[in-house]
Structure 1
Amino acid sequence: MVDVPVHVPQQQLRVQVGVAQFADPARTPQAPSASSTGRSSRPAAAPPPPGAQPPPLWGDENHVRELFGDRVDALRLGRDAVVVDRFATPGQFRDFFATHYGPTVAVYRANAGDPERTAGLDRALTDLAARHLAGGVMRWEYLLVTACRA
């Protein structure tokens, strides 16, 4: 098994000078976020590499604590939300992600020759937005992680 998730924080800690800070709305499992878009498209996408863990685990405080372990001091975790008011309709959400969000663009490209799969992805994105879009607003929760190298 490849130990990809643990390797990533080690690299990030080496690159940062003293303090590492991460915030990604696509990494919180409880939120209707960009990671939800990735889950919707997964049946049409290539499988992740062996040993890779799902990106939403970066939104799980216990998982993040385990990844960093004793390699950091003063680990602080906090939650917040980004208010997204860009999409008036589920269709606008779908069109934006199909055109501008890299992983979704890649899935559409990979399935360009399969109208059935493309239509399924269209439905999944539209349904996702319909579930979480309230009055033209979505709230995407994220986990903010701040740590100092040990």
Structure 2
Amino acid sequence: MTIATDLNALKSRQMASWASGDYAVIGTTLQLVGELLAEACDLRHGETVLDVAAGNGNATLAAARRGARVTSTDYVPELLERGRERAQAERLEVTFQPADAEALPFHDASFDVVLSTFGVMFTPDQAQAAAELTRVCRPGGRIGLANWTPEGFIGQLFKTLGRHLPPPPGVQPPSLWGVESHLRELFDDSAREISVARRLFNFRYQSAAHFIEVFRSWYGPVHKAFAALPVDGASALERDLTELLERYNRAGPDSLIVPSEYVEVVITRR
């Protein structure tokens, strides 16, 4: 009971974190990931699709563009509103509904395909979230995920944040969703097949300083970290993030291109 209470408190803090800033500013740059995931799941026109922890709707839009009947969910209503605006601009029919990834308000086997891009991986109770994805997906359906890896840039960014603001004890890091063995622990019992492919997404900014400025302003976890630290702590975090960005930068001194590894996962439901 104590663990559940702690996880609920953590979830409340996470909701506040993701609601701060404006994730859509970052999220729209990641649209390619949703398109690739929709193709990896080989979506059929007319299939029912659930996007879990959808953010501002990258996988949602990708599925709707392919003729799927999409329900887009997130526990942060402000993010769903950004997705709704995007869908309306493209004249795509999508249902938007607030929902907790650990307690999805849908019947068993309600969807042909369940998707999540860099979303469900941040749930506090990973086993419960995986069970919910599985429960609402029909037998023979597909669960498609895009998850940052621990070794990749975003995995290292969160590791850097953790050095300055240690996470609560006993909570599994989100980047475990980028580890194939962990995914098999979560899904093997309910999967007929699990396919895991490593991909790179390139963050493109003017410089390390530009990246930090954008993420500090708009990306909830980074925004909250800087706000929580004293001036000297914030300066130390900025130095560490600059060093990390410059280490990954492949564009040379006049620009910033930072490849970040993620896994593209397609699970066929047993």
Alignment match, 2:170: 51
1:10 paired to 2:131: yes
Alignment match, 1:144: 264
Alignment match, 2:146: 23
Alignment match, 1:103: 221
Aligned-residue CA RMSD in angstroms? 2.0
Show CA shifts across 1:93-140 (max 9, x none).
Answer: 2112211211111111222xx111111111111111111112121111
Q: Which amino acid aligns with 2:160?
A: S
Matches within 5 A, 1:45-84: 45=165, 47-48=167-168, 50-84=169-203
Shift of 1:9: 0.7
Alpha-carbon spacing, 1:131–1:21, altered in 2? closer, same or farther (3 Å): same
Unaligned runs of 5+ in 2: 5-123
Alpha-carbon spacing, 1:77–1:125, altered in 2? closer, same or farther (3 Å): same
Show CA shifts across 1:19-61 (max 9, x none).
Answer: 210013xx2122112x32221111332523x532112211111
Q: Which amino acid aligns with 1:31?
A: G
State the TM-score, normalizing by the size of structure 1.
0.84
Alpha-carbon spacing, 1:16–1:107, altered in 2? closer, same or farther (3 Å): farther
SS at match of 2:153: coil
Structure number with bigger Rg:
2
State the TM-score, normalizing by the size of structure 2.
0.49
Alignment match, 1:134: 250
Q: Is the 8 A contact 1:82 1:141 kept in 2?
A: yes
Q: 4+ residue stretches of structure 1 with deviation over 6 A?
A: none
Select which of 208, 212, 227 maps to 1:94.
Answer: 212
Q: How many residue pairs get matched?
A: 143
Shift of 1:65: 0.9
